[in-house]
């Protein structure tokens, strides 16, 4: 069987540690993958003067698939985020972030099983900021009909494909009547084509924040603009136990890049204690994308077995005493066991 080439982008901070863990888990499950390791983020910036070099973009375009770790973006100065550029350059307009309660790690917030669908290309991430006068800055929010219809269509198609029953558009159209009003109207228009198959409603983003922490189980698929999607993903991840548990994927017409929600976590980078589960689950999503549903299920079930039965092996963010390496070892062993003796659970 010919091997699928997949670009491996460890990134920086905790990226190399958690991406290596995910690579080992995928290899243990056995999809025919040829990894193509390449540098982005701080490492690439120091080497090439560019956090996202053109040759990396070319390779991802060629392979069509990448597994990516986080990259650091300087705060309030410095280069444009490599992540934002990657998504724009490759046309990765849809970010999918499933957030599901993890067995063994149930939280006081109740059961959650929702999917954040985030528009990835515009909104306040347009990078259009100007100093119009000393002490006065404008930051332009761009919302277009084309991008709003495209992401709404993606959300409804996703809901149908994955047996989800409702899409909720999230907005602040009472204040941003034109920008968020357009986003909401596009979602409404798109919903008409799915009437009777996927239901539709909407919620103000501030109300959503409150409703999520009081009763998260009421939500199914959340459809959001770029910034709200970013914030709500982190909030939702926190409700299931933290950023170390929440995977993600970015899809465009020609490429898909799989990466966790979390960032480069400089506070724990290099200590060997970063939780690799979010990137491992992102890698499972990648296997599904590549057509290997067995690996997708095997990896997810293996993670669930470890979180449910071996709390002591988990990393410190989950109150365990394990390390990135020892947790990855345990998941690799479980994947190998399930590969040898398939269990139906
Ligand atoms: P962060 O997600 O890196 O960290 C927030 C907190 O969560 C930290 O306390 C961190 O230790 C913890 N955390 C995150 N991932 C963890 C894991 N796997 N295991 C255990 N604990 C984990 O967010 P931040 O500190 O706001 O951002 C740091 C940098 O990452 C910034 O430069 C930001 O721009 C960048 N960032 C990159 C991406 C990406 O590459 N896709 C995403 C978000 C943030």
Q: What is the pLDDT of residues 187-233, one digit of tens each?
A: 999 999 999 999 999 999 999 999 999 999 999 999 999 999 999 99
Nearest CA to ligand 1 atom 23: 263
Mode of pairing for the β-strands spanning 113-119 and 221-224: parallel
Cα 70 to ligand 1 centre (Å) = 8
pLDDT at 308: 96
Of 17, 14, 18, 19, the residue nearest 36 (C-alpha): 19
pLDDT exceeds 80 at position 1: no
CA distance 249 to 98: 9
Cβ neighbors of 63 (< 8 A, separation 6 or more) are 4, 5, 6, 7, 36
d(CA 8, CA 2): 18
Specify the 3-state DSSP secondary structure of 202: strand
Q: Flag the least confident range among 71-80, 228-237, 296-305.
A: 71-80
Which residues form ligand 1's pocket by a CB distance below 6 Å? Answer: 14, 18, 70-73, 83, 243-244, 259, 262-265, 267-268, 274-275, 278, 317
Spatial distance between the Cα atoms of 220 and 55, rounded to a whole number of angstroms:
39
Residues 6+ apart with CB under 8 A from 58: none
Place of tokens 């332009």: 140
Q: Strand pairing of 256-258 and 4-9?
A: unpaired
């Amino acid at each position: 069987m010919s091997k699928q080439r997949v670009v491996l982008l460890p990134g920086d901070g905790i990226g190399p540690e958690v991406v290596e863990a995910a690579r080992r888990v995928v290899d243990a499950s056995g999809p025919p993958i040829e990894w193509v390791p390449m540098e982005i983020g701080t490492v690439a910036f120091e080497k090439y003067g560019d956090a996202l070099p053109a040759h990396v973009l070319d390779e991802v375009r060629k392979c069509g698939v990448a597994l990516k770790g986080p990259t650091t973006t300087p705060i309030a100065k410095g280069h444009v985020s490599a992540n934002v550029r990657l998504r724009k350059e490759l046309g990765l307009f849809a970010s999918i972030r499933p957030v599901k309660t993890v067995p063994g790690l149930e939280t006081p917030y109740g059961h959650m099983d929702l999917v954040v669908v985030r528009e990835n290309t515009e909104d306040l991430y347009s990078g259009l900021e100007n100093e119009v006068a000393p002490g006065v800055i404008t930051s332009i929010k761009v919302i277009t009909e084309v991008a709003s219809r495209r992401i709404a269509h993606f959300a409804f198609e996703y809901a149908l494909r994955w047996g989800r029953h409702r899409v909720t558009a999230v907005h602040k159209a009472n204040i941003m009547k034109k920008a968020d009003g357009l986003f909401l109207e596009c979602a409404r228009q798109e919903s008409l084509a799915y009437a009777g198959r996927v239901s539709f409603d909407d919620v103000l983003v501030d109300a959503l924040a409150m409703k999520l922490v009081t009763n998260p189980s009421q939500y199914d698929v959340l459809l959001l603009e770029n910034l709200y999607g970013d914030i709500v993903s982190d909030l939702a991840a926190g409700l299931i136990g933290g950023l170390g548990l929440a995977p993600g994927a970015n899809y465009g017409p020609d490429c898909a890049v799989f990466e966790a929600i979390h960032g480069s976590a400089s506070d724990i980078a290099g200590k060997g204690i970063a939780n690799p589960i979010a990137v491992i689950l992102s890698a499972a999503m990648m296997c599904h994308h590549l057509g290997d549903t067995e690996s997708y299920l095997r990896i997810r079930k293996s993670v669930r077995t470890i979180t449910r039965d071996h709390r002591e092996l988990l990393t410190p963010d989950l109150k365990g005493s394990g390390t990135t390496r020892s947790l990855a070892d345990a998941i690799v062993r479980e994947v190998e066991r399930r590969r040898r003796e398939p269990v139906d659970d």
